[in-house]
């Protein structure tokens, strides 16, 4: 709980659910979206939050050595929890996401393809696109490369709602919006 308060506070859960309901609301208004199964919205919202939590866990691992020096007071760096503890959190998030994709697609469809794209980008981000030094000296490129995760996550949720990719031309603005918002924060 102390780690979450510090690195992924409860407000992140609320903002993740707000993001999901915003995506669904716009999708339902702009195009035909079949009424999802009972409880789908809460599950999908939780899954989206779990993705952002997974990103936080990945970044805790990626930046661990650097943070030992620059932020030794943090819960993880002080030894109150371990990287192993966070691996368990990350594994639970990943399992939840995979189960969601399997439930929605019932095979290998648009949700799975968009999720795989999201995971590939996440992996590249975790490895700093194999250009860590260059990205660190080009902060604008770093921000753009990392903010692309936002539209990819929206793309994943839209694919789960439509179970196809025929929505893309109708939702380009919705894909661009979280990217622009993220760039403002960066």
Check residue 99 and give its pLDDT: 96
Chain position carrying tokens 């609320």: 14
Q: Give the pTM.
A: 0.90
Q: Where are the alpha helices (DSSP H) in 31-166?
A: 40-62, 64-70, 83-105, 110-126, 132-137, 139-147, 149-162
Check residue 171 and give its pLDDT: 79
Check residue 38 and give its pLDDT: 79
Least confident range from 83-92, 101-110, 165-174: namely: 165-174
Check residue 34 and give its pLDDT: 67
Mean per-residue pLDDT for 27-39? Answer: 76
Residue 90 clears pLDDT 80, i.e. is over it: yes
Tell me how crowded residue 69 is: count the other CB atoms within 10 A of its CB.
Answer: 8
Check residue 70 and give its pLDDT: 87
Q: Place 129 in a pLDDT band, splitting at 50, 70 and 90.
A: very high
Q: DSSP assignment, residue 107?
A: S
CA-to-CA distance for 161 and 23, rounded, in angstroms? 9
Least confident range from 24-28, 32-36, 108-112, 126-130: namely: 32-36
CA-to-CA distance for 117 and 119, rounded, in angstroms? 5
In terms of pLDDT, which residue wins out, 131 or 107?
131
Question: 104: closest CA among 28, 42, 157?
Answer: 157
Q: Place 153 in a pLDDT band, splitting at 50, 70 and 90.
A: very high
């Amino acid at each position: 709980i102390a780690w979450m308060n510090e690195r992924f506070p409860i407000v992140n859960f609320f903002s993740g659910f707000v993001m999901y309901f915003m995506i669904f609301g716009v999708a339902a208004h702009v195009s035909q979206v079949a009424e999802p199964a009972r409880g789908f919205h809460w599950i999908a919202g939780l899954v989206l939050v779990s993705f952002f939590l997974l990103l936080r866990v990945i970044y805790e691992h990626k930046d661990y050595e650097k943070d030992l020096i620059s932020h030794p007071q943090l819960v993880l760096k002080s030894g109150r929890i371990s990287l192993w503890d966070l691996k368990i959190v990350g594994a639970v998030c990943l399992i939840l996401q995979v189960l969601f994709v399997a439930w929605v697609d019932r095979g290998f469809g648009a949700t799975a393809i968009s999720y795989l794209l999201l995971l590939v980008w996440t992996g590249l981000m975790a490895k700093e696109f194999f250009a860590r030094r260059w990205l660190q000296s080009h902060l604008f490129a770093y921000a753009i490369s990392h903010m692309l995760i936002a539209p990819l996550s929206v793309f994943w949720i839209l694919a789960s709602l439509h179970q196809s990719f025929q929505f893309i031309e109708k939702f380009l603005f919705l894909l661009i919006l979280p990217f622009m918002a993220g760039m403002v924060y960066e």
